[in-house]
Structure 1
């Protein structure tokens, strides 16, 4: 059952916040809703607000000033509540705050779950090598953080800290994927004494992609949540991304996956979709 102390966050609130064509008063009101939801430990609100503070006025929404310490707090709280999509932006924030070792631990945790999905669960269509888009991005992310640490990188310490995160928050991470998919590997609601799978130290040994794979911050895979405003006939009217998207100079194929549609209430005239966008950079393979 949902925690009654956690304030809900509707797709309509998010759409109003991200849509710069809306009235300033409406957007500020939506920001207050998101902030209160984050304060009540709403994981989605923590993630969105953390992204906004990470980018500041450079975010397309341009509604708050950049605050990396605030972004670190919000994104890390979102991550431990199970929003693994918060980790990629969190690692960039940690690197900017001169904490690359912390970034590597978060990236190792993210990679761990993506590798599980790749090894045992992914059965969908491929977009060229590798077969699982999440694992490819996870490897890129981990390689990037290891490179940021440099010569002082300690594989054993990174693995130990990642396993401590997995041990403590494994139940939340499992819910992100769904217990039906990862129950055999991680915590099970039917067996709370089950220990989560450990992060394999072999993945900590060296970066998984060569330097040229992430030159100019252009990863091979980039996944993003987005809000789409739809016309009555279903055609896309506008698209707002939670996080930034790759540089326009890089050629990408974009695939969208529908998740759910609203309006949040029967009085709304807008039809809104929460979707996931995946970019595949053919130049990286």
Structure 2
């Protein structure tokens, strides 16, 4: 692949995806999904990320979250890794910041097909000064998001492109053709090693549509949740017009009338300043009405750009 030195990040990502899509590693059919093992107990994700719930009342949920993650649950591993990555900067402040533990759990979720976990893994690597690793993960995430499009992924395309840009910037080297060829080779190696499991996990997640690893999760087949629109929300921000895109993931609780009862921040990148304006947008979402439905839950990614 010939790469111009001033090639925009989005163009480089698109070219990289074309190269990977035609490589033998991705031509193989997924070998199946090693789905999450049956969770031993259930944790309440809303209680875990709710900053108004005292820590003493969440201790059992955190212990259960860890046990569920250890059982192989991808959603639990993503949440646990995120809490370790963000540490006290998370509104709920449930766990100390621990980059090694964040790596462990986010990697478990990422190689099982969670692209939000893959982004968090890239952010963690960049924050720890591992620029090459962070860039490779950012490009791998872009590759899977473009080859396996999903409405949730489309909502954060600008953030994904900016994550790649920051990865290149963190390298601190001129973007030469030779450097980009080396990076592409690293991405191909990652895809060759983990690609089958990632693709299988992405496809499986579209069937289950769970928001946690708990067997008591809402039955989406019986109580479907579909976005119908969004209330008019004026976002006020002190960010400069050309500031980098920010991302936040919210856990929503939706009433039978389709209105959002609660929006709790689960994840964000690169900083917490995005939570307040995007929370207002999340709270303004309108979903389908279902009379007699229990509170329905969803994970909603949003970006501000």
How high is the TM-score relative to the length of structure 2? 0.62
Residue 7 (structure 1) aligns with: 39
What RMSD, in angstroms, separates the aligned Cα atoms of the two structures?
3.8
Q: Are residues 1:160 and 2:181 paired?
A: no
Residue 160 (structure 2) aligns with: 138
User: Is the contact made by 2:140 and 2:187 (CA closer than 8 Å) also made in structure 1?
Assistant: yes
CA distance in 1, matches of 2:281, 2:133: 31
Residue 247 (structure 1) aligns with: 273
Q: Which runs of 5+ in 2 are unaligned?
A: 1-32, 207-238
1:136 Cα offset (Å): 3.1
The correspondence for 2:65, drawn from 7, 31, 34, is 34
CA distance in 2, matches of 1:218, 1:176: 33
User: Is the contact made by 1:87 and 1:106 (CA closer than 8 Å) also made in structure 2?
Assistant: yes
SS state of the match for residue 242, structure 1?
strand
Structure with more relative contact order (C-alpha pairs < 8 Å, separation 6 or more): 2
User: Is the contact made by 1:257 and 1:277 (CA closer than 8 Å) also made in structure 2?
Assistant: no
| Distance change >3 Å, CA 15–CA 218, structure 1 → 2 | farther
| Distance change >3 Å, CA 9–CA 86, structure 1 → 2 | farther
SS state of the match for residue 35, structure 1?
helix
CA distance in 2, matches of 1:41, 1:9: 13
User: Is the contact made by 2:253 and 2:262 (CA closer than 8 Å) also made in structure 1?
Assistant: yes
Q: Are residues 1:86 and 2:111 paired?
A: no
1:55 Cα offset (Å): 1.1
The correspondence for 1:147, drawn from 162, 165, 169, is 169
| Distance change >3 Å, CA 73–CA 4, structure 1 → 2 | closer
What is the CA deviation profile of residues 155-210 of structure 1, one whole-angstrom value per residue up to 9, with x for unaligned ones? Answer: 2222112111212222232234428x9xxxxxxxxxxxxxxxxxxxxxxxxxxxxx
CA distance in 1, matches of 2:38, 2:243: 36
Residue 220 (structure 1) aligns with: 245
CA distance in 2, matches of 1:161, 1:216: 34
Q: Are residues 1:277 and 2:301 paired?
A: yes
CA distance in 2, matches of 1:52, 1:39: 15
Residue 24 (structure 2) aligns with: none
SS state of the match for residue 169, structure 1?
helix
1:36 Cα offset (Å): 0.7
What is the CA deviation profile of residues 210-262 of structure 1, one whole-angstrom value per residue up to 9, with x for unaligned ones? Answer: xxxx989943363x432223456554332112113663599779465979x9x
CA distance in 1, matches of 2:73, 2:241: 34
1:35 Cα offset (Å): 0.5
1:54 Cα offset (Å): 0.9
User: Is the contact made by 1:218 and 1:250 (CA closer than 8 Å) also made in structure 2?
Assistant: no
Q: Are residues 1:62 and 2:89 paired?
A: no
1:134 Cα offset (Å): 4.3
Residue 199 (structure 2) aligns with: 174
1:132 Cα offset (Å): 4.6
User: Is the contact made by 1:17 and 1:61 (CA closer than 8 Å) also made in structure 2?
Assistant: yes
Residue 260 (structure 2) aligns with: 236
